[in-house]
Amino acid sequence: MKIGFLFPGQGAQSVGMGKDLYDKYEEYRKVYSEVEKITGMKISDITFDSEENILSQTKNTQICILTMSLAILEILKKKNVEASFSCGLSLGEYTALIYSGLLSFEDGVKIVKKRGELMQELCPKGDWTMAAILGLDENSVIKACNDVTNGFVAPANFNCPGQIVISGEKEAVNIAMENAKNLGAKRAIELKTSGPFHTKMLKEASQELRKELDNIEINKFNTKVIKNIDGNEYKEGDDIKDILSKHIISPVKFEKSIRTMIDSGCDCFIEIGPGKTLSGFVKKINKDLNVYNINSVETLETTLEAINK
């Protein structure tokens, strides 16, 4: 069995996520304590006891999701569960890079905190939204966006067959949704997001993040990581800081990333962190794979039992 770890991104969060794991495992609580020391933020309070609108602020969401995923990894490390490959959706790529050893724990936490702040503070003014287009191929979704002549809209996430997310100005997104339906989309669903993520509209945040990346050290990979911007494996010699700065203005090629992992021999995928959206994407890409998710004590135990048979 060749295991691939998957790490979720913004949008998977919910108040109380991982609380049962926090209560049960000392190593889980230790990760929260370490992140809180590094960031000066009370991550446990924001995650377990705040209101949804507080947790869902980008500057809070990203660091809270990262912390939960890193804490679950610590439990898996103790259980001797390791992955040959890892991949994350958007923010989740940073979790993968920390797991791989490319980013140290401290540097990874610091840069994700800064990334969340920049994406919130430097989001351009406007009425922004994102929408999932279901049941339409890539070229048709691109056409649905390109045919919008008034306002900005562009594809942002190529998640799996039949699900592509578009991002932009609310009015332009609404027109693109209608265009997509006219081109044969089964459904077009507006998402609960407030920024034009993974588009050129976050150029200023991308430029500022590039400056912040100069403050962190890049190490060697201990495990393989698949990158969002092209769905290919990171290679030694890649300009990591340039890739990560472009990451927030480039579409996420998640389907391609999963196919790369499958082609490399991954036959078991474990989603680590809140929700189980990525598990659903993998099943739509290849229904014959072993796919698990860990976001609670119950799902942890179920996954460990299944992979240790």
Look at residue 199 and give its three-state secondary structure. Answer: coil
Helix (H, G, I), strand (E, B) or coil at 265: coil
Task: With CA atoms as reference, report the closest residue to 157 among 248, 66, 284, 282.
Answer: 248
Positive or negative torsion for Cα 49, 53, 56, 61: negative
Is 90 labeled as catalytic in the residue annotation?
yes
Q: Is 134 exposed, middle or buried (0-12, 13-18, 19+ CB in 10 A)?
A: middle
The C-alpha atoms of residue 5 and residue 303 are separated, in whole angstroms, by 12
DSSP 8-state code for residue 233: B
Q: Which is the catalytic residue, given 90, 167, 206, 279?
A: 90
H and E: helices and strands count for the chain: 14, 10
Using only C-alpha atoms, what is the Rg of the chain?
19
Active site residue 198: yes
Instruction: Give the sheet arrangement for strand 163-169, strand by strand.
Output: 187-191, 128-134, 163-169, 153-160, 252-253
Q: Give, for 25, the enclosing helix (H) or strand (E).
A: none
Q: What is the dihedral of CA 299, 296, 281, 171, to 10 degrees?
A: 160
Beta bridge partner(s), residue 108: none
Find the catalytic residue in 56, 69, 140, 198: 198
- Residues with catalytic roles: 90, 198
